């Protein structure tokens, strides 16, 4: 059966979605003026998340500080991000895509793959169908998309990037020499800035240059595994299926950049508790536990350091993840160098549901208490949002219930029970 794959990509998603909302409320269309999605320009952590086409004329780039973008274009209109809006718009365009095929793989919040293979009787002309989907999204939801059509996921995704916005492009096997090989090698999927620079040093400037090399030559430059991928990708070969059920996460991580540098250990522990709590909430929400905890930091001079530890038993408890993270952090940080970023990662994930029982009964009782706390916090967050409750970050050892106060609480509770009797 001949494969037909669509790749649908929302044009400037965050900005387009905000623009549609403002237009429907009678406001100005952000897509027609120099504008961007970003945070408060007075905060150094605020960056440009998306930009309009007019903003590109001022050389404004995604990922740069908002303050820098304003220096390039003082009239730049800045809209704050609204992730609840983005989630709503994402679901809306995915729903339209699922009207055309049951096999839809959401690749990110603003793009997806459709497997149209075997749908010839319903949609005999795939190009016409691609235009139909594009126009339906624009007509019903108000924002534009690009649709790439190809014989595999790689070709479909490459095609959707050819020219924007609001376009349909094809990249079939017979079109690869004319449409893909002439492109700079850095535009090949999976080729990042560093890899492109390395390839260009070897006089490999276009995708066609790469496609003409032997597997052995490419591997000598990029390594065996990645080199093999580049060998096939440069020839437009990709056998990966469109998967409508997303794979389970192999790891979980949360990072935080700080508006002001972290300069004391107390500040660091407080921030670390919040980060550990966030990543623990995510792994519990997926019904998983992790055997490995890692901490990474970035100093004010942009130097990165990391440390990890493997656990005897997999965990999803906030208190355990925080305790290990704090110990790793204390080994990692010199206590003097200001910090601008911290993160916690959980890897070596299991979902077997089994847990090894401790030889020490007291330890298990403490874990039971922590599970009750975690479950209560998770239920509140799932019902009212993640901001509804936070851990007691001001406590010196905030991940544990102080045993002295816990004992006093239990004694007071029993005394009150006696008084009632």
**Rg of the Cα atoms in the chain:** 26
165 preceded by a cis bond (ω within 30 of 0):
yes
What does the alpha-carbon distance between residue 299 and residue 264 come to, in Å, rounded to a whole number?
Answer: 13
What does the alpha-carbon distance between residue 116 and residue 6 come to, in Å, rounded to a whole number?
Answer: 7
Listed residue (159, 166, 169) closest to 12, CA to CA: 166
Active-site annotation holder among 18, 28, 80, 111: 111
Largest interatomic CA distance in the chain: 89
Find all residues with CB under 8 Å of 195, minimum gap 6, and list them.
222, 226
What does the alpha-carbon distance between residue 199 and residue 218 come to, in Å, rounded to a whole number?
Answer: 9
Report the relative pairing of strands 145-150 and 289-299 from DSSP bridges: unpaired
- Confirm if 404 and 397 have CB atoms less than 8 A apart: no
- Confirm if 341 and 255 have CB atoms less than 8 A apart: yes
Listed residue (111, 45, 113) closest to 81, CA to CA: 45
Residue linked to tokens 């096999």: 103
Q: Quick check: is 64 catalytic?
A: no
Task: Kindly list the catalytic residues.
Answer: 111
């Amino acid at each position: 059966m001949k494969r037909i794959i669509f790749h649908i990509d929302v044009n400037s998603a965050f900005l387009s979605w905000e623009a549609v909302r403002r237009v429907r409320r009678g406001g100005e269309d952000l897509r027609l003026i120099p504008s961007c999605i970003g945070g408060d320009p007075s905060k150094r952590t605020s960056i440009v998340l998306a930009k309009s086409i007019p903003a590109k004329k001022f050389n404004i780039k995604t990922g740069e500080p908002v303050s820098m973008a304003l220096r390039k274009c003082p009239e730049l209109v800045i809209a704050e991000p609204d992730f609840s809006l983005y989630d709503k718009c994402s679901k809306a365009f995915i729903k339209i895509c699922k009207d055309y095929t049951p096999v839809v793989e959401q690749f990110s919040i603003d793009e997806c793959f459709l497997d149209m293979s075997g749908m010839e009787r319903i949609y005999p002309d795939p190009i016409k169908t691609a235009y139909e989907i594009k126009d339906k999204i624009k007509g019903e939801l108000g924002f534009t998309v690009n649709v790439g059509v190809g014989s595999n996921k790689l070709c479909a995704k490459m095609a959707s990037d050819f020219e924007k916005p609001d376009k349909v492009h094809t990249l079939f096997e017979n079109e690869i020499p004319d449409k893909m090989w002439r492109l700079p090698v850095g535009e090949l999927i999976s080729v990042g800035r560093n890899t492109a620079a390395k390839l260009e040093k070897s006089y490999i400037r276009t995708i066609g240059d790469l496609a003409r090399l032997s597997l052995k030559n490419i591997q000598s430059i990029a390594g065996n595994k990645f080199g093999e991928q580049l060998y096939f990708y440069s020839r437009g070969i990709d056998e990966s299926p469109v998967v409508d059920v997303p794979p389970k996460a192999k790891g979980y991580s949360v990072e935080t950049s700080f508006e002001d540098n972290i300069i004391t250990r107390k500040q660091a522990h407080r921030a670390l508790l919040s980060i550990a709590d966030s990543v623990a909430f995510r792994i519990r929400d997926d019904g998983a536990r992790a055997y490995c905890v890692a901490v990474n930091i970035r100093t004010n001079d942009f130097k990165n350091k990391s440390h990890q530890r493997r656990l005897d038993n997999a965990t999803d408890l906030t208190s355990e993840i925080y305790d290990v993270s704090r110990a790793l952090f204390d080994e990692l940080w010199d206590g003097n160098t200001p910090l601008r970023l911290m993160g916690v990662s959980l890897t070596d994930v299991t979902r077997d549901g089994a847990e090894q029982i401790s030889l020490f009964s007291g330890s298990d009782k403490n874990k039971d208490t922590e599970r009750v706390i975690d479950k209560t916090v998770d239920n509140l967050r799932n019902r009212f949002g993640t901001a509804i409750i936070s851990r007691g970050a001001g406590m010196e050892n905030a991940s544990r219930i102080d045993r002295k106060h816990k004992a006093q609480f239990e004694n007071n509770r029993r005394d009150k029970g006696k008084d009632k009797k």
